[in-house]
Amino acid sequence: MQANQHSTQPVQKLAVIGAGTMGTGIAIVAARGGCKTFIVDHRAGLAERAIDQAKIFLDRSVNKGKLTVHERDEIIDRMHAVDRLDQLADVDLVIEAVFESLQVKHEVFQALNQVCKPSCLFASNTSTISITEIAGGSGRDDRFIGLHFCLPAQLMKLVEVSRGISTSDECFERAWAFCEQVGQRPVHTQDTPGFVLNYFLIPFNNDAIRLVEQGVASPTDIDVAIKTALGYAMGPFELLDLVGMDTQLLLCEAMHGLTHEKRAVCPPLVKRMIAAGRLGKKTGIGFHRYSDQKIFGA
């Protein structure tokens, strides 16, 4: 579905809450798309780290000839690490990318609702939690929308745009226009667990993990099989290492809690890997090993 009209003011100032895997990528997309981008994380130093990671990613784009040095510097100049929510009073849009927990998301939006101007839109990057439910605890459910970016956000163009029950038409159209403004490809999905992508991906990735648990094939062989036969850019274990086992567990719990779909149950191997610190790329080892501890797949 396309929005009918995009006669809305462009987003000039934006905040990303949560400077983890997704928040960092979303901040790059927003700053690259011309928005002054504030980054907040409750853990000291993580917002600054996100900007450092953006520099590494953008340097690579310069080396590939996709960006000039001047453009890179302008993008970085638009990124600002902030440590207080009251510094977000004037932003046009907030995109939340904190842990996949309804309670944490409600706490974040309740605090934001106290400081952000009334016209500011709230968006959640949740993968599995109902937009209507998060919106219900935000204090502005008419100006609340799901904007589900894909991993790695700075490379993947798709954004699933999902409205909650009370989302206004104006909010939907402004959010859709924002996606286009920053060069993303929005699609409209209903507010259902997993939207389109994770409805497929969570059970699919769990099936792949169960094949490894059963000793049917190694992660490397499964990755090669899927990429070679199905033409996917990444195999399931390459993707899982990028997603992170900690996040995969939360995604499975949220999706299974809502759907009771057996294939959404988190395989025991994921919990054992978390206990062993094998979270994926972010800890240097998951189903594969990584020598440079890079977070980005590029």
Residue 148 falls in the annotated catalytic set: yes
The verdict on whether 160 is a catalytic residue reads yes
Q: Which of 3, 4, 51, 45 is nearest to 28 (CA)?
A: 51
The CA dihedral of 179, 81, 242, 67, to the nearest 10 degrees, is: 60
Active site residue 96: no
Active site residue 127: yes
CA gap 11, 13 in Å, rounded: 6
Dist CA 240 CA 55 (whole Å): 24
Q: Which stretch binds ligand NAD (CB under 6 A): 11-19, 29-37, 169-177, 185-193?
A: 11-19
Closest CB to ligand NAD among residues 53, 61: 53
Measured between its terminal Cα atoms, the distance across the chain in Å is 31
Q: Identify the active-site residue in 148, 162, 205, 238.
A: 148
Residue 40 interacting with ligand NAD (CB under 6 A): yes
Instruction: Tell me if 247 sits within 8 A of 22, measured CB to CB.
Output: no
Binding mask 57-86 for ligand NAD (x = CB under 6 A): ------------------------------
* Amino acid, single-letter form, for residue 23: G
What's the Cα-to-Cα distance from 173 to each of 1, 30, 145, rounded to whole Å? 11, 17, 10
Q: Are strands 185-189 and 158-163 parallel, antiparallel or unpaired?
A: parallel
- Is residue 88 close enough to count as binding ligand NAD by CB under 6 A? no
- The span of 3-11, 119-127, 164-172, 186-194 binding ligand NAD (CB under 6 A) equals 119-127
CB of 26: closest distance to ligand NAD in angstroms? Answer: 9
Task: Establish if 18 lies at the interface with ligand NAD (CB under 6 A).
Answer: yes
Please state the length of the chain. Answer: 298
Q: How far is the CB of 97 from ligand NAD (least distance, A)?
A: 4
The 8-class DSSP code of residue 11 comes to P
Residues carrying an active site annotation: 127, 148, 160, 198
Q: Which residues of this chain interact with ligand NAD, rule CB under 6 A?
A: 17-23, 40-43, 46, 97-100, 104, 108, 125-127, 148-149, 151, 243-244, 247, 251
